[in-house]
Amino acid sequence: MIDWKVVLTIVAVNVAYVSAFTLRLILLIKGRRRAAALLAMLEVFIYLIGLNLVLKNVSDPFNMAAYCLGFGIGVYTGSRIEEMLALGYLVVQVIVDALDPALPGEAARGGLRRHGVGGRRAGRPAARHAGARQAEQRTPADGYAGEAGAEGVRAVA
């Protein structure tokens, strides 16, 4: 007989554990050591709860499947949480066919600051802009890319 309460608890605990693991790893990469250390303590506590549940009920394959399902959902959930937090910065290199004087103003209104000297790439005018990832515009069509303002110019992360 399947104990659905245990199965659902294992899924929920593993989602929480893997989401915390994903965020802790991102915090470490971003150099936020103290926050990562605090999150690691919570992460290990959650992990031990889940491991204890699975080991007590190791004879039921549904519990193993629940652990695997929770792991996969946790990876997805952790990446979505990081996306919502939008930690870090975005650097955009804009290469256009012809220089449009309005383009820097459009980029600034979109939350980007000019970063680096304009130059030429493949004979075309180019400039680099930087901004917080939180200011990044996302569209369903391109996932991470936002429109840079001038027609035909896309800022790709």
- For the segment 103-154, what is each residue's pLDDT rounded down to a tens digit? 667 767 766 666 555 666 666 666 666 666 665 555 444 444 444 444 444 4
- Select from 85, 101, 129 the last residue of a domain: 85
- Select from 31, 56, 85 the last residue of a domain: 85
DSSP three-state, residue 155: strand
- One domain for residues 18 and 40: yes
The percent of residues above 70 in pLDDT, for the chain, comes to: 58
- One domain for residues 77 and 137: no
Residue range 88-102, pLDDT digits in tens:
666 767 666 666 677
Which pTM was predicted?
Answer: 0.61
pLDDT of residue 143: 46
Our count of domains for the chain comes to: 2
Domain that holds residue 145: 89-155
- One domain for residues 8 and 78: yes
- One domain for residues 81 and 8: yes
- One domain for residues 11 and 37: yes
Q: Which of 153, 104, 154, 150 is nearest to 129 (CA)?
A: 104
Q: Which of 97, 28, 16 is nearest to 53 (CA)?
A: 16
- One domain for residues 80 and 109: no
- One domain for residues 10 and 78: yes
Q: Is the distance from CB of 63 to CB of 54 less than 8 angstroms?
A: yes
- One domain for residues 35 and 16: yes
- Select from 32, 66, 85 the last residue of a domain: 85
